[in-house]
Structure 1
Amino acid sequence: MSSRLPSHRSVVVIGGGQAGLSVSYFLKQHGVDHVILEKNRIAHSWRTQRWDSFCLVTPNWQCQLPGRPYAGGEPHGFMKREEIVAYVEDYARRIEAPVEEGVAVTRLGRDARGGFVVETSEGGMTADAVVLAVSGYHTPSIPRSAERVDPAIRQIHSSAYKNAGQLPEGDVLVVGSGQSGCQIAEDLHLAGRKVHLVVGSAPRCPRVYRGRDCVDWLADLGQYDLPVDDHPLKEGVRKKANHYLTGRDGGRDIDLRRFAKEGMSLYGRLKDIDSGRLLFEDDLAKNLDGADAVYNGICGLIDKHIAEKGIDAPPGRHYEAVWRPSKALTELDPVAEGVASIVWATGFRSNWSWIDLPILDAAGYLEHRRGVTKEDGLFIIGLPWLYTWGSGRFVGVGRDAEFLSHRIDEHLLAIKPRLRAAC
């Protein structure tokens, strides 16, 4: 099989999203020959795995890819899906990234000289270093208990949701209250659909507090620069859900209690599905209270900052619950309640089975230290909390890419004697 790929590059970057492109920017600055292998198209996930009304939850000014900060006229606006795709595609063009689209990597292993062999859908090649820039969101995760749902009810994963019109008429059950689940529930609610929402332990965040977007305050407080080593949870923070809020219509809070007052039905965490009936934990009140506690904790952190710095800001008001569950709803017969569809906003599983190297810990997570693995020459970028809260976002991925580019330089310099000896 003839290959359109080069037989060898000093560095192979696997993944052509914003993380892989950021690495490419610095490799080009350092004069390192490399290629980016992208299984689909640039910005594929933004283009295909987001709903029609999707927009960023962080302000546009945080779009800070290296060498290409946001230059539009709405720094405090929120890019919509098509604008995000255009931003990433334009970035790839501007930096002249050497991207090979439509190339799926099927195996990554070692070659006889101690470098890497990269097998792909377009043939094989070798590399002296490899950067994994494919995030950790590979396979939609839907619980096996979903198989026990009445077959007449349509089920989709949140990554396949586009709009209310794609679902059959009737009530919609959304399972999961992270960012995607809450925003999809809101999208359906605003479209006039009756929504049933299964609420987990995800925290929430105010959109605007004391005259500014909370992201602006948190940036001033250094929260996006906080290293994982300095976080109270250490590496455990990588398993925590992101705060829910939205940038829709200029940005606002997401208040599940207000939705409940407007007719949305809320339930605790899903426990099981038995004979088609969904069974829930009696933890709705606890989950709502926990989310609000985080919300008010963020307000308190900002209050303290304002007081310490003597900042002139409007007065603040902490959140007070506008609704409380009168009784726990611990089960639901979806057919009897008129539920016609379920959206599983239950996240993704990682799939590293194509990597033929010992790089996973006991829990199946990629072992690394600020993106540097124990496998000499293998690096990772684009994961949440790779090093800071900003690592998985436009605002922080460039810093990670610059750091790794220096580690890659050091690696390539260190292996030069070995490569000369092999010639």
Structure 2
Amino acid sequence: MTAKKINTVVIGAGQAGIAMSEHLSAMDVPHIVLERSRIAERWRSERWDSLVANGPAWHDRFPNLKFTNTCQESFPPKERVADYFEEYAKMVKAPIRTGVNVISVEPNQGRLGFCVTTSDGVYDAANVVAATGPFQKPAYPDIIPADSELMQLHSSAYKNPEQLPEGGVLVVGAGASGSQIAQELRKAGKEVYLSIGQHYRPPRSYRGRDYVWWLGALGLWDEIKDPKQQHVAFAASGYDGGQTVDFRALGHMGITLVGSTKGCDNGVVEFKPGLAENIAQGDKGYFDVLRDADKYIEQHGLDLPPEPSAWELLSDPTCITQPILSLDLKEAGITSILWATGFKFDFSWLKVDAFDKSGAPFQKRGISVQRGIYFLGLPNLVNRASSFIYGVWHDAKYIADHIVVQNGYTDYVKDEDAMN
């Protein structure tokens, strides 16, 4: 089979791939975007029904297109976000091929470039951009046996409360996904236990400005001064119109808060001690933002009204003051476990020398150690914005610039006339 020659193959037509395509087109780089399903498929089929964007519409978008027919201060639902990316791809005329599965990417033998084998033929590419995003393969801790009678779902497979059988639910993981899903299940009448580990819990908004605005104003997108811990759950969301995640409030609404899940033996789940400490650490991060925001307002003379209620904490519910350290799932009536435990990378198709000893991409700002291989859309690729809609667009521009420069080296021909 004759390979189709193209300068750059972009793999994935989500937010990263579309941003990459826009910048490559602007720089006249011939390219194609390959997508195994539909544009922005994960927003449509790998998220729960009530999911909304994590930031308001004025912010969680690309610079050149606003969300239409949408309040700019609202949090667009997932289907609207997916539609937005389809609209954007059409606007920039992105050369996207959907329904094409990439089987492997391998270096060419004896020459530059890569052989990209797909379900629709082979491409010979000088550059390959892995734009498959941060949510590649659901991560499950090895705690509950797979053959257990319990229904076990990852958050990427959860749709709505009606999907679960009668009985209680243990939600493991209290970041944006776990906290939202736990609240939704409780509102649906479920008995819910929420396992909480270390987390970062900022205010959804403060003194009339959303947290994404404060991230920019305070320089927290770049985290140069005070980087937060990586791999810690990020407890902030746009759920129910945009509210600060308050675990005490969840406890008072009937959700039983428990510590980080440690293990399971004969149907009894053990939780690590330290629930109150984890809650207190989350409070510290929350109050740090309030203090920094107050200082910023004072320094810059902004007319933003004080918000004293933001400094008030609810009383600790009993589940915090008297934490449960073990739970017999059958006795508690739990029939489902929902794992909101994040994702791990899956670059098994990328057969190149571009990974460190842990299997993570060996890169700097998305530029791989292997010439011609790039990564885009991964957490902390450049800064904390890199895996967000807002940040990936800017990261893509940097990579596109680098591709153009490298193409120049490849295409260089000595000008003999200029030497005479």
Same fold (TM > 0.5):
yes
Aligned-partner residue type, residue 316 of structure 2: W
Q: For residue 131 of structure 1, what is the aligned residue in structure 2? A: 129
Q: For residue 331 of structure 1, what is the aligned residue in structure 2? A: 326
Tell me which of 394, 402, 411 is aligned to 1:399.
Answer: 394
Q: For residue 121 of structure 1, what is the aligned residue in structure 2? A: 119
CA separation of 1:218 and 1:257: change in aligned 2, threshold 3 A: same
Aligned-partner residue type, residue 355 of structure 1: L
CA separation of 1:250 and 1:415: change in aligned 2, threshold 3 A: same
Q: Distance in 2 between matches of 1:370 and 1:326?
A: 44
Whether 2:307 is the aligned partner of 1:310: answer no
Q: Distance in 2 between matches of 1:194 and 1:176?
A: 16
Q: Distance in 2 between matches of 1:25 and 1:309?
A: 36
Q: Distance in 2 between matches of 1:148 and 1:247?
A: 33
Whether 2:50 is the aligned partner of 1:59: answer no
What fraction of aligned residue pairs are identical, expressed as a percent? 36
How far did 1:412 drift? 0.9
Counterpart secondary structure, 1:400: helix
Counterpart secondary structure, 1:391: coil
Tell me which of 332, 339, 343 is aligned to 1:344.
Answer: 339
Offset from partner CA, 1:224-275 (integer Å, 9 cap, x none): 3x1x6x3544xx8543432x13312321112111111222111111111111
Q: Distance in 1 between matches of 2:229 and 2:10?
A: 26
Q: For residue 49 of structure 1, what is the aligned residue in structure 2? A: 46
Q: For residue 290 of structure 2, what is the aligned residue in structure 1? A: 299
Whether the aligned pair in 1 keeps the contact of 2:175 and 2:236 (CA below 8 Å) is no
Whether 2:264 is the aligned partner of 1:273: answer yes
Q: Distance in 2 between matches of 1:393 and 1:136?
A: 10
Whether the aligned pair in 2 keeps the contact of 1:131 and 1:380 (CA below 8 Å) is yes
The 5-angstrom pairing of residues 190-339 of structure 1 reads 190-224=187-221, 226=222, 230=224, 232-233=226-227, 237-242=229-234, 244-317=235-308, 318-324=311-317, 325-339=320-334
Q: Distance in 2 between matches of 1:384 and 1:172?
A: 29
Moved more, 131-140 or 34-43: 131-140
Aligned-partner residue type, residue 131 of structure 1: V
Offset from partner CA, 1:180-204 (integer Å, 9 cap, x none): 1111111111222111011111111
Offset from partner CA, 1:54-97 (integer Å, 9 cap, x none): 10121111133253244444111100011111101111111111
Counterpart secondary structure, 1:31: coil
Whether the aligned pair in 1 keeps the contact of 2:33 and 2:97 (CA below 8 Å) is yes
Q: 5+ unaligned residues in a row in structure 2: which ranges?
A: 414-420
Whether the aligned pair in 2 keeps the contact of 1:199 and 1:266 (CA below 8 Å) is yes
Q: For residue 141 of structure 2, what is the aligned residue in structure 1? A: 143
Q: Distance in 1 between matches of 2:285 and 2:139?
A: 26
CA separation of 1:266 and 1:249: change in aligned 2, threshold 3 A: closer
Q: For residue 368 of structure 1, what is the aligned residue in structure 2? A: 363
Q: Distance in 1 between matches of 2:381 and 2:236?
A: 23
CA separation of 1:82 and 1:107: change in aligned 2, threshold 3 A: same
Q: Distance in 1 between matches of 2:225 and 2:356?
A: 21
How far did 1:156 drift? 0.9
Q: For residue 416 of structure 2, what is the aligned residue in structure 1? A: none
Q: Distance in 1 between matches of 2:386 and 2:134?
A: 13
Whether the aligned pair in 2 keeps the contact of 1:12 and 1:35 (CA below 8 Å) is yes
Q: Distance in 2 between matches of 1:28 and 1:66?
A: 16
Q: For residue 37 of structure 2, what is the aligned residue in structure 1? A: 40
Structure 1 or 2: more helix by fraction: 1
How far did 1:368 drift? 1.1
Q: Distance in 1 between matches of 2:312 and 2:185?
A: 25
Whether the aligned pair in 2 keeps the contact of 1:292 and 1:319 (CA below 8 Å) is no
How far did 1:393 drift? 1.1
Counterpart secondary structure, 1:65: coil
How far did 1:32 drift? 1.2
Q: 5+ unaligned residues in a row in structure 1: which ranges?
A: 419-423
Counterpart secondary structure, 1:16: coil
CA separation of 1:148 and 1:123: change in aligned 2, threshold 3 A: closer
Counterpart secondary structure, 2:58: helix
Aligned-partner residue type, residue 269 of structure 2: L
Give the CA RMSD over aligned residues.
1.8
Q: Distance in 1 between matches of 2:230 and 2:134?
A: 11
Q: Distance in 2 between matches of 1:328 and 1:148?
A: 27
How far did 1:174 drift? 0.4
User: How many aligned positions are there?
Assistant: 408
Aligned-partner residue type, residue 322 of structure 1: S
Q: Distance in 1 between matches of 2:183 and 2:279?
A: 16
Q: For residue 388 of structure 1, what is the aligned residue in structure 2? A: 383
Q: Distance in 2 between matches of 1:238 and 1:135?
A: 17
Q: Distance in 1 between matches of 2:12 and 2:142?
A: 29
Aligned-partner residue type, residue 337 of structure 1: A
Q: For residue 163 of structure 1, what is the aligned residue in structure 2? A: 160
Offset from partner CA, 1:94-115 (integer Å, 9 cap, x none): 1111111111112111113121
Whether the aligned pair in 1 keeps the contact of 2:276 and 2:321 (CA below 8 Å) is no
Whether the aligned pair in 2 keeps the contact of 1:238 and 1:384 (CA below 8 Å) is no
Offset from partner CA, 1:322-366 (integer Å, 9 cap, x none): 215222211001111111111111111211122211111122211
Aligned-partner residue type, residue 22 of structure 1: A
Moved more, 211-220 or 301-310: 211-220
Aligned-partner residue type, residue 143 of structure 2: S
Aligned-partner residue type, residue 41 of structure 1: R
